[in-house]
Amino acid sequence: MADEPRYVEHAFDGDVHILRIANAPVNTLRTEVRAGLLQGLQAAAKQGARAIVLIGTGRGFSAGAEMTEFGKPRKPPSLNEVFDAIENSRAPVVAAIHGNALGGGLELALACHARVAAPGAQLGLPEVKRGFVPGAGGTQRLPRLIGLEALRLIVSGDPVGPEEALKLGFIDAVLPGDLERAAVAWARQHAGDKFTLARHRTDKIAGYDAAAFDEAAKKLTARSRGQESPKGCVTAVRAAFTMPFDEGLNVEREQFQTLVAGEQSQALRHIFFGEREAVRIPDLPADAKPLPVNKLVVIGGGTMGGGIAMSAANFGLPVTIVETSEEALQKGLKRCEANWERTVKSGRLSQAEYEKRRANLTGTTDFDKAVGEADLVIEAVFENMEVKKEVFARLDKAARPGVVLASNTSTLSIDEIASATRRPELVIGMHFFSPANVMRLLENVKGAKTSPVAIATATEVGKRIGKLPVLVGNCDGFVGNRMTGKRGPQIEKLLLEGCLPQDIDRVMESYGMAMGPLATGDLAGLDIGAAVRKARGTVAPVADAVVAAGRLGQKTGKGYYDYDENRKRMPSKEVEQIILDLAEKMQVRRRKIEDQEILERVLLPMVNEGARILEEGIAYRPIDIDVIFINGFGWPAFRGGPMFFADRLGLKAVRDKLAHYAEATGDANLKPAALIEKLAAEGGSFATLKSAPKAA
């Protein structure tokens, strides 16, 4: 008979028992682990253990609950039954933590009599980021161990290292060296101590100050806009201070169950798993290995080139910026330095770390020499095809054979750029987003001839420098900009039919967007869109009139809004008049437009274009599109992205609404895409569409 996999190993060191969680890769607390722990604890009790060490095998202690078990009937034993066994154990149970102890993993440790950790461990309760609250006593035990500080940890969901955990008081020791050995020795030494379980501690929750609690809660939730889980965390943690332990557990359970079943949590989990899926490229041959990259060269040290170079330097990849003149080069390098210095000043970067990063960055005007030494080149010069082709022809001559040449273009064809070289198979788009040292999204753009090796290399380097690379096909605007571009005509119509810029932005921002579309236009500069329209021979009456009035956005102090000297935006009387005059001239009768209509008319054109992008195979999977919007376009993760939005609405409703708005607004672009028609007719959804109809 084949051996059943063992999810918990039971070992001994004299009379100290060791229970090792063995559920690779991250030791989630799946049913078999919970059952194994319970059995192990019972066996250890029977055998008269003097102390019990609970430890993880492999990469870490435990990353928490098995999220794929969510939404299904829970099989016993529950985590709480395991915790009861720990808390009832006569022998002290010591959690020995290395790597991650997150969520349910940390809750397991908090139920133990004591906790020790290895340097470099990460301890946290990130449930809030998945849209729910810790559901196995974390909100009740942590406050009893560390007081009000627990609110910060639970509402932010950010993990802390062992030094901070020790200072806060929820671990008992940091043990360097072999953790299991050290933990066994520690447990043996302390086996006779009197431990007070977290559930019985009262010292840290005594003297509850409602006003101080409210004040802290307000600060911590100020930035979470329409997100529900931070509020749920506050409710549950408050119960720790105001109720007996078991009643607090009930409050926590109620919050957990409501939130976990809610749409926001589903959206957040959709994105959590989606981000892991999107970086995997389905049809990449197994032998397509990334080329080694130890030296990056960035051509152009402007806004984007500087940001890309900073990302590389931040993650320890030596990088050289190539510029056309010494002056432009110094300007580019100075901008990077100033950026880092601001971070040092704000306390988020140490001087030593800054110097380390700065040492990874060099600059030159010697194009051929630098490019000749490059393992990968990323071009970020002006957005002009002639200039790009000239640069790529030069790159092809100067770079060693086999070196990948990437372009950061946001609109130009990768195929045409590649045609300027004799290595089109090694040319790829690496489309970063501004500010490139901050934004996580990287759209890697595959041209017609781009090889698997070039794709593997761009993906690997992207990950290495802290980005989330999503592979997309070559088309105008790629995925993100192509979809957002489709909002424009409906926004114009909304403005003429009855909205003002602030109405549209208010609706989109209360939906959760970091910034509404009109304010975003002001930030980027309204002249950019005007130039595109001019080149394409299209018009946008309102936008054109705003630009004609010299209102180019924040850089001119006015755009769709007026701006004060602190760049605070204010509704503009002038823009209102421009809109009213235009509506009158165009004989559009203005009416009150409901928020729901605004939301749908801004989002549905994007959904429709997303469907076309899938039909064309420009994106592999619907989830790729959602991940792009969450990581590059200020879309709140708790909304799950545009394709998730469509699924929640139901594709039949999406189809009907699109058809309605196409008819009502005379916008042919809103005619439902064939894929939406098909899925709506089948009763399908984007979620059921595992990959695009055609391969990208």
Q: Interface residues with ligand NAD (CB under 6 A)?
A: 299-305, 322-324, 328, 380-383, 387, 391, 408-410, 432-434
* Residues contacting residue 338 through CB under 8 Å, at least 6 positions apart: none
Q: Which residue is nearest to ligand NAD (CB)?
A: 302
Nearer to ligand NAD, 323 or 492 (CB): 323
Alpha helices in 315-439 (DSSP H): 326-345, 351-359, 367-372, 385-398, 414-418
Nearer to ligand NAD, 391 or 472 (CB): 391
| In the complex, minimum distance from the CB of residue 307 to ligand NAD, in angstroms, rounded to a whole number | 8
Alpha helices in 176-325 (DSSP H): 179-190, 210-221, 229-242, 245-261, 263-278, 303-314
Nearer to ligand NAD, 155 or 333 (CB): 333
Alpha carbon 614 to its chain centroid, in Å, reads 22
Of 390, 453, 299, the residue nearest 309 (C-alpha): 299
User: E strands along 58-157, which residues?
Assistant: 93-97, 100-102, 114-117, 122-124
Distance between CA atoms of residues 509 and 492, nearest Å: 18
Q: Is 277 a catalytic residue?
A: no
Nearer to ligand NAD, 146 or 378 (CB): 378
- Among the listed residues 4, 66, 81, 127, the single catalytic one is 127
| In the complex, minimum distance from the CB of residue 325 to ligand NAD, in angstroms, rounded to a whole number | 7
Do 484 and 457 touch, CB atoms closer than 8 A?
Answer: no
| In the complex, minimum distance from the CB of residue 182 to ligand NAD, in angstroms, rounded to a whole number | 49
| In the complex, minimum distance from the CB of residue 387 to ligand NAD, in angstroms, rounded to a whole number | 6
| In the complex, minimum distance from the CB of residue 348 to ligand NAD, in angstroms, rounded to a whole number | 23
Strand partners, 102: 124
Nearer to ligand NAD, 387 or 475 (CB): 387
Of 445, 419, 441, 422, the residue nearest 432 (C-alpha): 441
Nearer to ligand NAD, 85 or 412 (CB): 412
Do 41 and 86 touch, CB atoms closer than 8 A?
Answer: yes
Antiparallel, parallel or unpaired: β 561-563 and 569-571: antiparallel
| In the complex, minimum distance from the CB of residue 622 to ligand NAD, in angstroms, rounded to a whole number | 24
| In the complex, minimum distance from the CB of residue 274 to ligand NAD, in angstroms, rounded to a whole number | 22
The string over 413-438, giving b where at least 16 C-beta atoms fall within 10 Å of a residue's C-beta and e elsewhere, is: bbeebbbbbebbbbbbbbbbbeebbe
Q: Is 107 a catalytic residue?
A: yes
Nearer to ligand NAD, 39 or 434 (CB): 434
Count of alpha carbons within 13 Å of 189, Cβ hemisphere only? 8
Do 413 and 424 touch, CB atoms closer than 8 A?
Answer: no
DSSP string, 213-228: HHHHHHHHHTT-TT-S
Distance between CA atoms of residues 366 and 394, nearest Å: 12
| In the complex, minimum distance from the CB of residue 630 to ligand NAD, in angstroms, rounded to a whole number | 18
> Which residue's structure tokens are 């030791």?
27
Distance between CA atoms of residues 268 and 255, nearest Å: 16
Burial class (CB in 10 A: 0-12, 13-18, 19+), 215: exposed
Nearer to ligand NAD, 116 or 428 (CB): 428
Token couple for 346: 């704000």
Annotated catalytic residues are: 107, 127
